Amino acid sequence: MTPVWVFPAYPLLLTAPFGANLISAANRTGRLGVINTVPVALAAVTVQGTGFLISFMVCAAFLYRLMTQKLPRDHQRPGVFISIGPSGFTCAGLGSFPSFSSFPQVPARSLS
């Protein structure tokens, strides 16, 4: 088992950033009436969550393998970083939705 098993879930992990960019582009060009933003956002987040759950299960199996066996061979070790990507895609996708919408946002002063 290697982290490369996550690759089939990567197209699912790109839907939230794509959906956010689609809504953002429609907002910038003044064509929000052309697309229904709520169904696009809900579908993108749902498919993104499905892809993250698939990648999380593969990552859990990989971590179990790392705990019970030793590290992969030297030529396979750079592939260990592949399992970090799905979390980054999910954070980037979900973080880009509130930046242009009317979702409640946390005030900047409350974070410090």
- Give the relative orientation of helices 37-68 and 15-28 as an angle to the nearest 10 degrees: 150
Highest mean pLDDT among 3-7, 23-27, 77-81: 23-27
Q: Are 46 and 25 in contact (CB under 8 A)?
A: no
pLDDT band at 102 (very low <50, low <70, confident <90, very high): low
Residue 16 within a domain:
yes
Residue 106 within a domain:
no
Residue 89 within a domain:
yes
Residue 77 within a domain:
yes
Domain count, the chain: 1
Instruction: Give the mean pLDDT of the chain.
Output: 81
Q: Give the residue-averaged pLDDT of 23-32.
A: 85
* Domain range for 13: 8-101
In percent, the amount of the chain with pLDDT more than 90 equals: 8
pLDDT band at 9 (very low <50, low <70, confident <90, very high): confident
